[in-house]
Chain A
Amino acid sequence: MKALLTRDLMLAIRAGGGFGLGLSFFLIVTVLVPFGVGPQTELLSRIAPGVLWIGALLACLLSLDRIFALDWEDGSLDLLATAPLPMEGIVSVKALAHWITTGLPLVLAAPVLGVLLSLPIPAYQWVVISLAVGTPALSVIGTFGAALTVGIKRGGLLMSLLVLPLYVPTLIFGAEVARRGAEGLTVQAPLLLLAGISFGVIALLPFASAAVLRINLR
């Protein structure tokens, strides 16, 4: 499983791997929003936590269809399925690799890009914390969507439609943590719910992903 993780990370970093894809999309969104909203610092800083969260969510979505599609196309998914790795392990490693190459850079970039949106000072830590807690859920749910649509030509559209509603709770509680943090309110309730969603999907969804992947490989 470690070998699979290293291979996926190596492939992501090498040319054509799509390592910077999510990150550059995130950058584009946060750079363009201030231009679109106009020079109203007060309005910007009010919407900043939400914009950062939506940007991160869409950036995650962008690279989801690559999780299994590439392995499916070159036949290595079939070969992995006959290897001694459990399918649940394969999908978990895939989700982890997606989080490391997409989610983690977003968490690290968020405070830097928050400056562009004049994010209020007390919100910085809560944006980072909520993204750090929430993005693993985005990767795991996305891996489930990718497993559902693997083998479908141009499955990206279908996958986005399937995954978006599943992303809504994460977005609501994640953005709520950041917003309440920005206003200096207590964040305990939404943060606990966000963590609950993350741990819940990490514990349960790999089994569902593995099951649909087995069916899709037939």
Chain B
Amino acid sequence: MFEAVLLTVITAATPLLIAAVGELVVERSGVLNLGVEGMMIMGAVVGFAVANQTGSGSLGVVAAIVAGMAMSALFGFLVLILVTNQVASGLALTILGLGLSGMIGEAFIGVPGLRLPELYIPVLSEIPFVGPVFFQQDALVYVSFLLVGAVSYMLFKTRAGLILRAVGDNHVSAHALGYSVVRVRFMATLFGGACAGLAGAYMSLAYTPQWVENMTAGRGWIALALVVFASWLPFRVVAGAYLFGAVTVLTFHAQAQGLGIPSQFLSSLPYLATIAVLVLISANRRLTLVNTPACLGKPFVPDR
């Protein structure tokens, strides 16, 4: 029973996790991209369309990543080159993505999708409990685990990570040291777009293999919340995504048990839980201030 619940939680949490890790890198570089939902839905539709046309799930995933990156490149051009307001540009990206995806997807409504196969990791998948839960998943679940590890390593153990964080914390000094703030931020933004696209592909190729309008249903926003929730630390994103997924799934279990609590209250629990944890985390100032990118959302124009 517990094992089964965990399995459900993993699929519910994976798209949130992938998108949030991408956005975490973006925000660490000092850019706030509120367009995650728009990039994610574009990833979902393009991934579905390409997989459907070519019959190849992997091509679909690649296409979704490219679509997410294309959307983020547009965003990057606006906020980094033309220094437009990041909040407004991110919102515009979301609106555009929701509309465009709907138009692209019109041909794919009611078409059964392709499902990414599950990969059983040899030996490990045989371990009782741990095996079925963690090593009998589709490829993207493993990708999400690897992604968290890689991002964490990159951010805190490599020079590139150091530069990225320096740019996010103090772009003036980073610039003075000779780093191209705009270039670093553009790369980070592209990475965020790729992750959001991948998360979208997870929705339309693994979680619920189909295309329907607005199928991401606000998950991009939750991913954004998770980044702050995690106080910009990759492993806390995992905790946040799984907590959110668990609360959502458990409310269904509570209902199926016939507890008789108003379902609207149960449905609002994940949101209330997010607020509660956010407050708990942010109340500890020492912890948040250290990790908050000091230049988050602030535009940078090199003075020459």
Q: Do A and B bind each other?
A: no
Which B residues are within 8 Å of any A CB, using their own CB?
none
